[in-house]
């Protein structure tokens, strides 16, 4: 859990910006809930020197001192690179041919997290030819991709420093099936999230079926949480609920100091966050669906079940919406579907209140694009 700098600061991240976000992560109470990583995305790279060592740019000139500051707050610092010659910015250096050198540099700086993005990496098995990953390449061989990610995974391990290894491979070539084998701790399962309901519907609800590839230390990653105004508050609550049921990394892509009270409340509800961080480390899955109405369940370490009731009903633009479009729809979770005895107690995790004891099932009205998140025991 943590935050990525690029969403709130673009490509001009400075040393002061990173320190400010570290301070905000602590003062907001987010650190106490488990948010611990400050991740500088692909905007930190400077030039390589005559010996091939990478250096940060002028805005982030002393990475060791910056890491020391972040560590002094009880937090961790993350960086970004690529297995290709360049990153997603064609002017910035990737790690191709410098894997061990870069890994050791990161370790020497005190880096705790590496996001490794496949931008500019192509099929290296065809005479050393390198193509952008976006380019059509009918001869692409997934084994080269796997080998490239394994090379950096082994380089990180060789440093002796624990560095979380985040594979950003956009879900290509079933990365979830081999990510752990190359040393990955998490791997992107999708294209970039777009801060829209349509993206949430495709990316988030499309994670069903990947649960068997997740376990403690190895996580499916459906991308970051953007709170840029592209969705309504209720839709952001839906995304947070789903990500927590998925045991997904919770990486915020905002300037933490500019989050609204409503947005901060979504990110800091301790009972919802606890579902994501549950020690059993089990990824939830869909247990029932009736058209646009879905029920998802995540088993928890204490034997209870976290359940999300989701209403994905389609909506029209405001000027075209009929008056009944936003009426809540009742959604039922049947206890037999989640492996619970006939009688169970239910607690609402967003309102943080006990709802009582129920027999066989529980039903709640759920707003359009909304969620009711409960714990069933």
Where b means 16+ CB within 10 Å and e means fewer, 35-74 reads bbbbbbbbbbbbeeeeeeebbbeebbeebeebbebbeebe
The sign one gets for the Cα dihedral 221, 223, 224, 230 is negative
Could you give the CA distance from residue 49 to residue 87 in angstroms, rounded to a whole number?
A: 18
**Other beta carbons less than 10 A from residue 81's beta carbon:** 27
What are the tokens at 2?
Answer: 């943590």
Catalytic positions are 117, 192
Q: Are 200 and 231 in contact (CB under 8 A)?
A: yes
Could you give the CA distance from residue 81 to residue 86 in angstroms, rounded to a whole number?
A: 8
113-117 vs 76-81, strand pairing mode: parallel
With a CB cutoff of 8 Å and minimum separation 6, the contacts of 227 are 195, 236, 252, 253, 254, 259, 263
Listed in sequence order, the DSSP H helices in the chain are 6-9, 15-27, 30-33, 63-72, 99-109, 142-159, 175-178, 197-199, 233-245, 261-267, 270-276
Distance of CA 293 to the CA centre of its chain: 24
What are the tokens at 104?
Answer: 């050791």
């Amino acid at each position: 859990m943590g935050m990525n700098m690029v969403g709130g600061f673009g490509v001009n991240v400075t040393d002061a910006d990173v320190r400010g976000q570290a301070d905000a992560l602590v003062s907001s109470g987010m650190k106490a809930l488990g948010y611990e990583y400050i991740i500088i995305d692909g905007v930190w790279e400077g030039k390589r020197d005559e010996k091939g060592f990478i250096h940060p740019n002028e805005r982030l000139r002393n990475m060791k001192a910056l890491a020391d500051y972040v560590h002094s707050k009880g937090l961790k610092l993350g960086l970004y690179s690529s297995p290709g010659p360049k990153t997603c910015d064609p002017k910035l250096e990737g790690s191709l041919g410098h894997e061990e050198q870069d890994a050791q540099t990161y370790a020497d700086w005190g880096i705790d997290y590496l996001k490794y993005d496949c931008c500019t990496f192509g099929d290296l098995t065809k005479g050393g030819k390198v193509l952008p990953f976006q380019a059509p390449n009918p001869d692409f061989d997934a084994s080269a991709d796997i080998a490239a990610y394994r090379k950096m995974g082994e380089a990180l391990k060789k440093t002796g420093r624990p560095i979380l290894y985040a594979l950003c491979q956009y879900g290509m070539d079933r990365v979830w099936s081999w990510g752990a084998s190359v040393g990955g701790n998490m791997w992107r399962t999708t294209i970039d999230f777009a801060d829209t309901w349509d993206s949430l519907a495709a990316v988030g609800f499309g994670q069903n079926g990947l649960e068997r590839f997740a376990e403690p230390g190895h996580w499916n990653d459906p991308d970051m949480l953007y709170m840029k105004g592209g969705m309504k508050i209720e839709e952001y609550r839906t995304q947070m609920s789903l990500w927590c049921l998925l045991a997904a990394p919770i990486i915020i892509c905002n300037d933490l100091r500019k989050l609204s009270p409503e947005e901060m409340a979504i990110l800091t509800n301790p009972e919802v966050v606890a579902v994501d961080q549950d020690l059993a480390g089990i990824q939830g899955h869909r247990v029932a669906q009736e058209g646009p109405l879905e029920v998802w369940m995540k088993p928890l370490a204490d034997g209870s079940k976290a359940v999300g009731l989701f209403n994905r009903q389609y909506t029209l633009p405001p000027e075209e919406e009929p008056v009944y479009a936003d009426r809540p729809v009742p959604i039922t979770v049947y206890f037999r579907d989640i492996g619970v005895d006939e009688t169970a107690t239910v607690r609402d995790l967003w309102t943080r209140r006990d709802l009582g004891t129920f027999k066989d099932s529980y039903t709640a009205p759920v707003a359009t694009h909304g969620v009711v998140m409960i714990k069933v025991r």
